[in-house]
């Protein structure tokens, strides 16, 4: 019997490794073939300029980029230096693999959080849920900002818990470095940490649930001071615009970024069939996107969980020590962006991109739900719920695979007819499909072409046209162009000041397009002037 049990355990362990390697291979494939986004070129250049400036010990003349004063590109500089080890023609793909590494590590961080708070089974389940969450998976390779912020946030959470339990100084140092990286990518990152900071302090001075021993306040103060100095040093080191005055300018830029009337992104937004100016995005924007861009089975687990919690609350409280207390931590992080967006003038765009750091925590409830169902399959009601959930999961996996590698454009069945979804939500808002689109061009490479764009920055198609060795093309305005490259973005008709879709604004003859599962992501058209 013992021999049999050892065999089963060994088989399960081997199966987990095989599944993990398959997932890594699949995600690597997606990261390698997907095109690069608007922000990638900008961030890569920022990293290059900053790295070269620091390596020259401040003697080089750094090129200025738009709004550079609001960024400390620690991660971008780090990635730039790594990418230099690869041939130039593979720099984009190499950069995607670097992003992928940190994205997968973020998922591993969430797994470790759930192992620490609950158990290993919940950790494995949450790993799979987040890995296959379309909005997260779709960004893992080509998003150089938001997935890295998620990585920083998740590991700060984990290390904070480890510090509370062990009081090792090293955890504070790691937290400080991660906070510097996240803040460098977006100054609002500090705001996303607010629930963690509050709960962390309450745990130290009041609740003491994670704390295993009493520590004098003096030690905490010394640890926090050391941590702040590490955070500030690395943040300012790469924040070259603050170097004229590292004691005043960081706070000045932070204040301007948070409280000044700055343009923060794309001007026009499409939300569930309605068009808005950036400043007029409805307060329901985040909730609406979660409802329509989360897998069907995922939404169902939330309904099941609240039913389970009402009827089987004692199961969770018996199974997991301080269950209610741990859920307060998780729900505080989940609710925080909703509260922030509702009560402040800040707006977000591009679906769930700006709250990718929240998605890992959003996956914990589904993981707990599935764990309960697996452990209680003898109950008739559980069998019924599990069967329904399995059907929805299989349906989701099919849709997930069918839109490879553009999973970030995913919309669930609540959106209705797939062919009409370009009328309801922006899908390829970062132009990731333009690599595939440009590769479809079969013209003579010496053919003279004037190409306009709508919904995407001109440098994205320009990069891929050059990579395909087209030599006689020009990126121009629509009125002077022969062809136009279109993505599913909201735009404005300057004649009547009406907001509409790029596909509707430019109705020229379509030569070819990129689509997935019946949904057009980008189009190459002959202009109809």
Q: Using one digit for the tens of pLDDT, what is the confidence trace for 444-494?
A: 888 899 999 998 888 889 999 999 999 899 988 888 899 999 998 888 877
pLDDT at position 382 is 86
Q: What percent of the chain has pLDDT over 90?
A: 61
Average pLDDT of the residues of the chain = 90
User: Residues 184, 211: contact at Cβ < 8 Å?
Assistant: no
CA distances from 377 to 26, 179, 372, 526 (A): 31, 42, 9, 58
User: Residues 227, 172: contact at Cβ < 8 Å?
Assistant: yes
Distance CA 163, CA 201 (A): 12
Distance CA 168, CA 190 (A): 23
- Rounded average pLDDT over 51-60: 85
Q: Please report, for the chain, the start and end positions of each structural domain, with discontinuous segments joined by +.
A: 1-33, 34-381, 433-526
Predicted TM-score (pTM) of the model is: 0.94
Distance CA 238, CA 7 (A): 52
Distance CA 177, CA 183 (A): 10
Distance CA 44, CA 75 (A): 10
Residue 378 or residue 176, greater confidence: 176
pLDDT at position 406 is 96
What are residue 520's phi and psi, to 5 degrees?
A: -80, 130
The two tokens of residue 196 are 């963690």
Residue 7 or residue 112, greater confidence: 112
- Rounded average pLDDT over 13-40: 90
Q: Which of 94, 41, 75, 142 is nearest to 353 (CA)?
A: 142
pLDDT digits (tens, 9 = 90+) for 281-291: 898 999 999 99
pLDDT at position 66 is 64
Is omega for the bond preceding 405 within 30 degrees of 0, making it cis?
yes
């Amino acid at each position: 019997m013992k021999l049999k049990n050892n065999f089963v355990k060994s088989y399960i362990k081997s199966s987990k490794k095989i599944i993990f390697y398959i997932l890594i291979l699949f995600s690597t494939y997606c990261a390698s073939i997907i095109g690069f986004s608007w922000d990638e070129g900008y961030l890569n250049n920022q990293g290059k300029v900053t790295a070269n400036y620091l390596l020259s010990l401040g003697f080089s003349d750094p090129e200025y980029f738009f709004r550079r004063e609001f960024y400390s590109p620690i991660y971008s500089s780090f990635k730039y230096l790594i990418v230099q080890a690869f041939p130039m023609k593979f720099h984009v793909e190499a950069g995607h693999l670097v992003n992928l590494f940190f994205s997968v590590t973020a998922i591993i961080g969430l797994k470790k959080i759930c192992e620490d708070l609950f158990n290993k089974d919940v950790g494995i389940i949450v790993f799979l849920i987040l890995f296959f969450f379309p909005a997260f998976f779709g960004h893992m390779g080509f998003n150089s900002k938001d997935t890295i912020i998620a990585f920083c946030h998740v590991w700060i959470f984990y290390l904070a818990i480890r510090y509370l339990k062990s009081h090792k100084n090293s955890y504070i140092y790691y937290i400080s470095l991660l906070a510097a990286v996240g803040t460098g990518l977006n100054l609002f990152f500090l705001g996303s940490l607010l629930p963690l900071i509050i709960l962390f302090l309450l745990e130290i001075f009041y609740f003491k649930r994670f704390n295993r021993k009493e520590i004098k306040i003096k030690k905490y103060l010394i640890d926090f001071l050391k941590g702040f100095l590490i955070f500030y040093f690395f943040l300012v080191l790469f924040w070259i615009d603050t170097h004229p005055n590292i004691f005043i300018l960081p706070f000045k830029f932070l204040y301007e970024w948070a409280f000044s009337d700055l343009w923060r992104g794309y001007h026009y937004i499409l939300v569930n069939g309605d068009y808005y100016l950036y400043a007029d995005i409805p307060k329901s924007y985040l909730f609406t996107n979660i409802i329509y861009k989360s897998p069907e089975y995922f939404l169902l687990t939330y309904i099941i969980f609240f039913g389970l919690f009402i009827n089987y609350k004692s199961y969770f409280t018996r199974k997991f020590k301080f269950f209610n207390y741990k859920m307060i931590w998780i729900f505080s992080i989940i609710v925080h962006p909703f509260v922030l967006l509702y009560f402040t003038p800040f707006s977000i765009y591009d679906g769930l991109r700006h709250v990718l750091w929240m998605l890992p925590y959003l996956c914990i409830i589904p993981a707990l739900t599935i764990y309960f169902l697996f452990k209680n399959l003898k109950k008739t009601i559980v069998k019924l719920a599990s069967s329904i959930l399995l059907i929805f999961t299989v349906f989701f996996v099919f849709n997930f695979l069918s839109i490879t590698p553009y999973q970030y454009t995913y919309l669930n069945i609540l959106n209705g007819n797939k062919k009409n979804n370009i009328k309801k939500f922006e899908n390829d808002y970062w132009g990731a499909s333009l690599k595939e689109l440009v590769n479809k061009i079969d013209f003579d490479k010496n053919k003279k072409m004037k190409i306009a764009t709508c919904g995407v920055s001109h440098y994205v198609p320009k990069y891929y046209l050059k990579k395909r060795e087209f030599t006689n093309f020009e990126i121009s305005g629509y009125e002077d162009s022969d062809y136009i490259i279109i993505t599913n973005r909201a735009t404005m008709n300057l004649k009547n000041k009406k907001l509409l879709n790029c596909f509707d604004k430019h109705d020229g003859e379509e030569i070819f397009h990129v689509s997935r599962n019946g949904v057009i992501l980008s189009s190459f058209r002959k202009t109809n002037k």
